[in-house]
Amino acid sequence: MDYPNDQDPGAPVRFGIPAHGRIPKYYAVKAHIGRLVEELGEGGLLPTERDLSETYGVARETVRQALRDLLLEGKLRRQGRGTVVAGPKLEQPLSLASYTEGVRRQGRTPGRSLISLDRFPCPEALAAEVGLQRGEPVWHMERVLLADDERVGLESTYVAVGRVPDLDRDFDPDSSFYAYLRDRLGIAFGDADERIETVLATPREALLIGTPPALPMLLIHRVSRDTGARPLERVRTLYRGDRFSFTTHLGD
Inform me whether the pLDDT recorded for 14 exceeds 60.
no
pTM over 0.85: no
Cα–Cα distance list, 32 to 52, 53, 218 (Å):
10, 12, 28
Q: What is the pLDDT of residue 1?
A: 38
Query: Among 112, 109, 137, which Cα is nearest to 122's?
Result: 137
Q: Work out the end-to-end distance of the chain between its first and last CA atoms, rounded to an integer number of angstroms.
A: 33
Overall average pLDDT of the 66-90 stretch: 81
Residues 17-29 have pLDDT tens digits of 666 767 788 888 8
At 172 the pLDDT is 94
Taking Cα atoms as reference points, which of 242, 192, 196 lies closest to residue 219?
Answer: 196
The beta strands (E) that lie in 86-208 are given as 90-93, 110-121, 137-147, 150-160, 189-200
Q: Which of 153, 108, 156 lies closest to 130 in space, CA to CA?
A: 156
At CA 69, angle to CA 68 and CA 71, rounded to 5?
Answer: 65
Cα-based distances in Å from 165 to 94, 114, 142, 169, 185: 29, 18, 17, 9, 10
| Residue 240: C-alpha distances to residues 155, 168, 222 (Å) | 12, 28, 17
Angstrom CA distances, 177 to 14, 71, 185, stand at 45, 32, 11
pLDDT tens for each residue of 110-140: 889 999 999 999 988 889 999 999 999 999 9
CA distance 129 to 125: 8
- pLDDT tens-place string over residues 136-175: 999 999 999 998 888 989 999 999 999 999 999 999 999 8
Tens of pLDDT, residues 171-220:
999 988 988 999 999 998 889 888 888 877 877 888 899 887 777 888 88
